[in-house]
Amino acid sequence: MTEVIKINETPIPPEKLVSHLKTYQMLPQLLRELIIDRAIAPIECSPEEVEKAKKEYLTQNRLTDPKQVQAWLQYNHLNQEEFEKIAIRKYKLKKFKQETWGVKVESYFLQRKRDLDQVVYSLLRTKDHSIATELYFRLQNQEASFEELAQKYSEGAEAETRGIIGPVPVTTPHEKVSEMLLKSEVGQLWPPVRIGEWSIIVRLEKLISAQLDEPTRQKLIHELFSKWLEEEVKKQIKIEPLDTETSEVA
Protein backbone atom coordinates (compact mmCIF):
# COMPACT_ATOMS: atom_id res chain seq x y z
CA MET A 1 0.00 0.00 0.00
CA THR A 2 1.37 3.39 -1.02
CA GLU A 3 1.08 6.06 1.66
CA VAL A 4 0.57 9.77 1.02
CA ILE A 5 1.40 12.59 3.42
CA LYS A 6 -1.40 15.11 3.77
CA ILE A 7 -1.51 18.47 5.51
CA ASN A 8 -5.02 19.87 5.91
CA GLU A 9 -6.19 17.20 3.47
CA THR A 10 -3.75 18.50 0.85
CA PRO A 11 -1.42 15.72 -0.35
CA ILE A 12 2.30 16.36 -0.77
CA PRO A 13 3.31 15.12 -4.23
CA PRO A 14 6.11 12.53 -4.02
CA GLU A 15 8.14 14.45 -6.60
CA LYS A 16 8.29 17.39 -4.16
CA LEU A 17 9.76 15.39 -1.27
CA VAL A 18 13.41 15.77 -2.28
CA SER A 19 12.89 19.52 -2.67
CA HIS A 20 11.32 19.70 0.80
CA LEU A 21 14.12 17.64 2.32
CA LYS A 22 16.67 20.03 0.85
CA THR A 23 14.80 23.12 1.97
CA TYR A 24 14.45 21.87 5.53
CA GLN A 25 18.07 20.61 5.56
CA MET A 26 16.90 17.06 6.26
CA LEU A 27 18.37 15.45 3.15
CA PRO A 28 21.85 14.74 4.60
CA GLN A 29 20.31 12.76 7.45
CA LEU A 30 18.12 10.76 5.08
CA LEU A 31 21.16 9.91 2.96
CA ARG A 32 23.06 8.72 6.03
CA GLU A 33 20.17 6.50 7.06
CA LEU A 34 19.99 4.95 3.58
CA ILE A 35 23.71 4.13 3.73
CA ILE A 36 23.20 2.56 7.17
CA ASP A 37 20.32 0.43 5.87
CA ARG A 38 22.53 -1.00 3.17
CA ALA A 39 25.39 -1.68 5.60
CA ILE A 40 23.32 -3.50 8.23
CA ALA A 41 21.14 -5.47 5.79
CA PRO A 42 23.25 -8.69 6.05
CA ILE A 43 23.08 -8.75 9.86
CA GLU A 44 20.75 -11.37 11.29
CA CYS A 45 18.93 -11.23 14.63
CA SER A 46 17.70 -14.29 16.51
CA PRO A 47 14.19 -14.28 18.05
CA GLU A 48 15.86 -13.67 21.42
CA GLU A 49 17.72 -10.68 20.02
CA VAL A 50 14.51 -9.30 18.53
CA GLU A 51 12.87 -9.32 21.96
CA LYS A 52 15.99 -7.81 23.48
CA ALA A 53 16.00 -5.09 20.82
CA LYS A 54 12.42 -4.11 21.58
CA LYS A 55 13.00 -4.02 25.34
CA GLU A 56 16.18 -1.96 24.95
CA TYR A 57 14.45 0.54 22.69
CA LEU A 58 11.55 1.02 25.09
CA THR A 59 13.90 1.40 28.05
CA GLN A 60 16.16 3.89 26.28
CA ASN A 61 13.15 6.00 25.34
CA ARG A 62 11.60 5.68 28.83
CA LEU A 63 8.51 3.98 27.47
CA THR A 64 7.69 1.74 30.42
CA ASP A 65 3.91 1.97 30.47
CA PRO A 66 1.64 0.50 27.75
CA LYS A 67 -0.30 3.77 27.58
CA GLN A 68 2.95 5.65 27.00
CA VAL A 69 3.89 3.23 24.25
CA GLN A 70 0.52 3.65 22.53
CA ALA A 71 0.70 7.44 22.75
CA TRP A 72 4.24 7.36 21.32
CA LEU A 73 3.11 5.15 18.42
CA GLN A 74 0.22 7.47 17.62
CA TYR A 75 2.40 10.59 17.82
CA ASN A 76 4.94 9.06 15.42
CA HIS A 77 2.26 7.56 13.12
CA LEU A 78 3.60 4.05 13.64
CA ASN A 79 2.00 0.65 14.05
CA GLN A 80 3.43 -2.22 16.09
CA GLU A 81 5.20 -3.80 13.13
CA GLU A 82 6.88 -0.53 12.20
CA PHE A 83 7.98 -0.03 15.79
CA GLU A 84 9.61 -3.47 15.80
CA LYS A 85 11.48 -2.63 12.59
CA ILE A 86 12.83 0.54 14.18
CA ALA A 87 13.93 -1.28 17.34
CA ILE A 88 15.57 -4.11 15.39
CA ARG A 89 17.30 -1.63 13.10
CA LYS A 90 18.83 0.16 16.07
CA TYR A 91 19.99 -3.15 17.55
CA LYS A 92 21.50 -4.23 14.22
CA LEU A 93 23.32 -0.90 13.96
CA LYS A 94 24.83 -1.47 17.39
CA LYS A 95 26.01 -4.93 16.30
CA PHE A 96 27.44 -3.48 13.09
CA LYS A 97 29.45 -0.88 14.99
CA GLN A 98 30.84 -3.43 17.44
CA GLU A 99 31.70 -5.99 14.78
CA THR A 100 33.35 -3.41 12.51
CA TRP A 101 35.24 -1.14 14.91
CA GLY A 102 35.35 -2.95 18.25
CA VAL A 103 38.73 -4.52 17.43
CA LYS A 104 40.18 -1.15 16.33
CA VAL A 105 39.21 0.92 19.33
CA GLU A 106 42.33 0.26 21.45
CA SER A 107 44.73 1.63 18.82
CA TYR A 108 42.38 4.53 18.10
CA PHE A 109 42.27 5.33 21.80
CA LEU A 110 46.06 5.66 21.85
CA GLN A 111 45.85 8.08 18.91
CA ARG A 112 43.14 10.13 20.63
CA LYS A 113 44.34 9.93 24.23
CA ARG A 114 45.88 13.38 24.28
CA ASP A 115 42.54 14.88 23.23
CA LEU A 116 40.67 12.79 25.81
CA ASP A 117 42.86 13.67 28.79
CA GLN A 118 41.26 16.29 31.01
CA VAL A 119 42.67 19.07 33.17
CA VAL A 120 41.63 21.29 36.01
CA TYR A 121 43.57 24.54 36.00
CA SER A 122 43.58 28.02 37.49
CA LEU A 123 43.42 31.01 35.17
CA LEU A 124 43.83 34.71 35.80
CA ARG A 125 43.69 37.18 32.93
CA THR A 126 43.90 40.94 32.65
CA LYS A 127 44.55 43.44 29.87
CA ASP A 128 47.14 45.22 32.01
CA HIS A 129 50.44 43.37 31.67
CA SER A 130 52.07 45.24 34.56
CA ILE A 131 49.27 44.12 36.91
CA ALA A 132 49.63 40.55 35.65
CA THR A 133 53.36 40.64 36.38
CA GLU A 134 52.75 42.01 39.89
CA LEU A 135 50.11 39.34 40.60
CA TYR A 136 52.44 36.61 39.34
CA PHE A 137 55.16 37.63 41.83
CA ARG A 138 52.59 37.78 44.63
CA LEU A 139 51.54 34.24 43.79
CA GLN A 140 55.12 33.05 43.47
CA ASN A 141 55.97 34.53 46.86
CA GLN A 142 52.77 33.05 48.34
CA GLU A 143 51.57 36.49 49.44
CA ALA A 144 48.01 35.63 48.33
CA SER A 145 46.06 32.67 47.01
CA PHE A 146 45.27 32.21 43.34
CA GLU A 147 41.56 32.01 44.19
CA GLU A 148 41.63 35.33 46.00
CA LEU A 149 43.52 37.18 43.25
CA ALA A 150 41.48 35.67 40.42
CA GLN A 151 38.23 36.66 42.07
CA LYS A 152 39.47 40.21 42.62
CA TYR A 153 41.52 40.96 39.50
CA SER A 154 40.62 38.54 36.70
CA GLU A 155 38.63 40.22 33.94
CA GLY A 156 37.10 37.05 32.44
CA ALA A 157 34.25 34.76 33.45
CA GLU A 158 36.70 32.67 35.51
CA ALA A 159 36.53 35.40 38.19
CA GLU A 160 33.14 33.95 39.17
CA THR A 161 34.72 30.54 39.84
CA ARG A 162 37.73 32.02 41.68
CA GLY A 163 39.91 31.18 38.69
CA ILE A 164 39.17 27.45 38.61
CA ILE A 165 38.35 25.92 35.22
CA GLY A 166 37.54 22.28 34.52
CA PRO A 167 37.64 19.45 34.30
CA VAL A 168 37.81 20.05 30.54
CA PRO A 169 39.61 18.22 27.70
CA VAL A 170 43.18 19.45 27.55
CA THR A 171 42.59 20.62 23.96
CA THR A 172 39.63 22.86 24.92
CA PRO A 173 41.56 25.96 26.08
CA HIS A 174 43.39 28.30 23.72
CA GLU A 175 46.23 26.55 21.88
CA LYS A 176 48.93 28.36 23.91
CA VAL A 177 47.20 27.48 27.18
CA SER A 178 46.91 23.83 26.10
CA GLU A 179 50.64 23.74 25.32
CA MET A 180 51.45 25.19 28.73
CA LEU A 181 49.23 22.71 30.53
CA LEU A 182 50.67 19.74 28.61
CA LYS A 183 54.18 20.77 29.68
CA SER A 184 53.18 21.41 33.29
CA GLU A 185 53.69 19.50 36.48
CA VAL A 186 50.75 19.70 38.88
CA GLY A 187 51.02 22.97 40.80
CA GLN A 188 53.32 24.61 38.24
CA LEU A 189 52.74 28.36 37.95
CA TRP A 190 53.45 30.03 34.62
CA PRO A 191 54.63 33.65 34.29
CA PRO A 192 52.27 36.01 32.42
CA VAL A 193 51.86 35.18 28.72
CA ARG A 194 50.25 37.45 26.16
CA ILE A 195 47.35 35.99 24.16
CA GLY A 196 45.74 38.65 22.01
CA GLU A 197 44.76 41.55 24.24
CA TRP A 198 45.13 39.48 27.43
CA SER A 199 47.98 38.77 29.78
CA ILE A 200 47.27 35.42 31.43
CA ILE A 201 48.62 33.46 34.36
CA VAL A 202 48.02 29.72 34.40
CA ARG A 203 48.56 26.99 36.99
CA LEU A 204 47.83 23.29 36.48
CA GLU A 205 45.77 21.93 39.37
CA LYS A 206 45.00 18.39 38.23
CA LEU A 207 45.58 16.09 35.26
CA ILE A 208 42.92 13.44 34.68
CA SER A 209 44.36 10.77 32.41
CA ALA A 210 41.79 9.23 30.06
CA GLN A 211 40.95 5.56 30.59
CA LEU A 212 39.49 3.17 28.05
CA ASP A 213 36.39 2.42 30.12
CA GLU A 214 33.10 1.33 28.57
CA PRO A 215 31.65 4.84 28.00
CA THR A 216 34.89 5.95 26.34
CA ARG A 217 34.99 2.76 24.26
CA GLN A 218 31.46 3.38 22.97
CA LYS A 219 32.23 7.04 22.29
CA LEU A 220 35.28 6.14 20.20
CA ILE A 221 33.46 3.37 18.31
CA HIS A 222 30.78 5.93 17.43
CA GLU A 223 33.46 8.39 16.28
CA LEU A 224 34.95 5.78 13.95
CA PHE A 225 31.49 4.90 12.66
CA SER A 226 30.65 8.58 12.05
CA LYS A 227 33.84 9.12 10.05
CA TRP A 228 33.09 6.05 7.95
CA LEU A 229 29.52 7.18 7.38
CA GLU A 230 30.47 10.64 6.15
CA GLU A 231 33.00 9.11 3.75
CA GLU A 232 30.39 6.67 2.44
CA VAL A 233 27.87 9.45 1.85
CA LYS A 234 30.45 11.35 -0.23
CA LYS A 235 31.37 8.23 -2.20
CA GLN A 236 27.99 6.64 -2.80
CA ILE A 237 25.31 9.31 -3.01
CA LYS A 238 24.40 11.15 -6.17
CA ILE A 239 21.35 13.33 -6.72
CA GLU A 240 20.45 13.64 -10.38
CA PRO A 241 17.37 14.90 -12.25
CA LEU A 242 15.03 12.09 -13.22
CA ASP A 243 14.68 11.51 -16.96
CA THR A 244 10.88 11.27 -17.10
CA GLU A 245 10.81 9.98 -20.68
CA THR A 246 13.25 7.15 -19.90
CA SER A 247 11.40 6.42 -16.70
CA GLU A 248 8.07 6.09 -18.50
CA VAL A 249 9.53 3.82 -21.18
CA ALA A 250 11.22 1.63 -18.55
Name the domain count of the chain.
Answer: 2
Q: What is the CATH number of the domain that holds 182?
A: 3.10.50.40
Same-domain pairing of 127 and 194: yes
Does the residue 102 lie in any domain? no
* pLDDT of amino acid 242: 59
Task: Give the containing element (helix H, strand E) for 164.
Answer: strand 164-169
pLDDT digits (tens, 9 = 90+) for 108-140: 999 999 889 999 999 999 999 999 999 999 999
Same-domain pairing of 119 and 93: no
Does the residue 177 lie in any domain? yes
Does the residue 134 lie in any domain? yes
Does the residue 18 lie in any domain? yes
Host domain of residue 151? 115-208
Terminus-to-terminus CA distance in the chain, angstroms? 22
Helices (H), the chain: 17-23, 27-40, 47-60, 66-75, 80-101, 105-116, 129-140, 146-153, 175-183, 214-236, 244-249
Helices (H), 157-213: 175-183
Same-domain pairing of 175 and 128: yes
pTM, two decimal places: 0.74
Average pLDDT over residues 222-239: 88
Neighbours of 17 (CB within 10 A): 14
